[in-house]
Amino acid sequence: MFRKILMTTTALFFATTAFAQDTMVKEVDVSADITAISNAEAAAYWTNAADDLENAIVARLVDRIGEEGSKISVDIDELSLANSFQNQLGLEDAVMVGMVKVTSETDNADFDTYELTVSALSAQAFAADGTVLEGAFTDTPEYYAALISAFADGVVSRLK
């Protein structure tokens, strides 16, 4: 009896995972207003931040984009790029914070809202040759790209 229940439960588990699909996405919308900018270093990147993040998210979802699916909305609440001196003194940090909303017109299970925070400590910056930058200024284009990349990874990894 126990063996039959165990075999049935195992078969049911494998059947549900076999039919499990990744969430399809039909739209990605990222916005940032000027109040999201926390310091002068970040202001240099502000005009491209929303487009850069949107493109990074879409690039990670190429195989999951379709006519039917969820909408991902991101509102960048904070973008700050501190230099290494400010970072070491604890005065400021390189950080990106945003509110992420996932909605769906067709699937009630595809709803989610959360705040995502990515800092220079969690994002690794890479030089043009692919080596990890250590001790570099966190207000460099490489750290900006690392923040964008880490934020996009965070959004995509949390899709149900």
pLDDT digits (tens, 9 = 90+) for 114-150: 999 988 766 665 555 666 556 554 556 777 888 899 9
Q: What is the residue range of 92's domain?
A: 22-157
- Report yes or no on 6 lying in a domain: no
Q: How many domains does the chain have?
A: 1
Give the Å distances, CA to CA, from 81 to 37, 43, 55, 115, 120: 9, 9, 20, 19, 9
Kindly report the pTM of this predicted structure. Answer: 0.73
- Report yes or no on 5 lying in a domain: no
- Report yes or no on 55 lying in a domain: yes
Distance CA 124, CA 8 (A): 45
Structure confidence by residue, pLDDT tens digits, 78-87: 877 654 444 4
First-to-last C-alpha distance (Å) of the chain? 35
Give me the CATH number covering residue 53.
3.40.50.10610
